[in-house]
Amino acid sequence: MSILDAIIQGIIQGATEFLPVSSSGHLSISQHIFGIELPGILFDIMLHLGTLIAVIFVYRGLVWRLIKEFFALCKDIVHRQFKWSEMSQDRRLLMMLFIGLLPLFLLFLPIPGTGMKVKDFSEQLASDQGIVIEGLALLATSVLLFLGISANKRMRREKVAVNREGKRMASKGRRKIHTVDAIVIGLTQCLAAVFPGLSRSGSTLSVGLLRGINQQTALDYSFVLGIPSIAAAALVSLKDLGTAGEKIGAAPLIVGMLTATIVGFLAIKLLKWIVTTDKLELFAYYTLVAGGVITILGIIEHAMGQNLFTGRPM
């Protein structure tokens, strides 16, 4: 892998990990188009670590509060002082994160009659030679985004809130994450982990909006929920590293990770601005168009039996 390839992959990973367009789908599509074949998964792990650094840096204040709250929670449990009804805002968020992460264990369930686990099936989908799955998953992301945006607009029209001054104004949604919200969002994140092209941030944000949660609250929860998810995915994959590092080279690994970190930081800031200014529909239309084009190209490739971009047989 060249330095240029590493930079391209880092840009794609950094931008699409947090923007609601699917990093796994775009990486798979870009590797298909440019004919990039990665030996093992070390480079993919390094890119994910880069985006992990970015989101931890942006949310460093909240992350540090949650870490302290975790130890305080452990202390209260040991001393039998924990009370669900008396949780602080940070402790409640911490508990909702725990609940939201539980569905990820479904990835380790065996699929009857196949000898595979759910996560093995997701890896199989990601490593196939075609791009039809990625295209269909992008279309699914678009549908979820449109549904979430529509639900948020409907809530603003139909529900009215009263501010501190007693004035009536359009409701912006709930700022509190409930247990059911955490479970549903967690299940959605698990589904996004299975299908390359189904955006994790886009689908979890959309489900949050469908549940009536405030846009900024749903976005922040989705980002923070992604921290342990990305870290866990990297740790689980460490056993499959092999000698991939020697085949790729140290320079591309470092450059790719740094690029993903920088672009990831900018992408988070961009998405927070887009959500604040109600321009989320841009991504809904993008994934609709991109998903349609990729699906059609994928079908044509299967019919022809070769990659349209590299000329390699399928």
Chain segment 263-290, per-residue pLDDT in tens: 999 999 999 999 888 899 999 999 999 9
- Residues 57, 258: Cα–Cα separation, whole Å: 13
Q: What is the pLDDT of residue 243?
A: 47
pTM for the full predicted model: 0.88
Cβ neighbours of residue 224 under 8 Å, at least 6 residues apart? 55, 59, 62, 63, 66, 93, 97
Which stretch of 77-81, 128-132, 168-172, 270-274 has the lowest confidence by average pLDDT?
A: 168-172
Instruction: At 75, list the tokens.
Output: 């202390």
**Domain ranges within the chain, ordered by starting residue:** 3-304
**Mean pLDDT in residue range 176-189:** 95
Amino acid 280 reads: L
> What percent of the chain has pLDDT above 90?
53
Cα 314 from Cα 311, distance rounded (Å):
9
For residue 242, what pLDDT is reported? 53
Is the model's pLDDT at 160 over the cut of 60?
Answer: yes
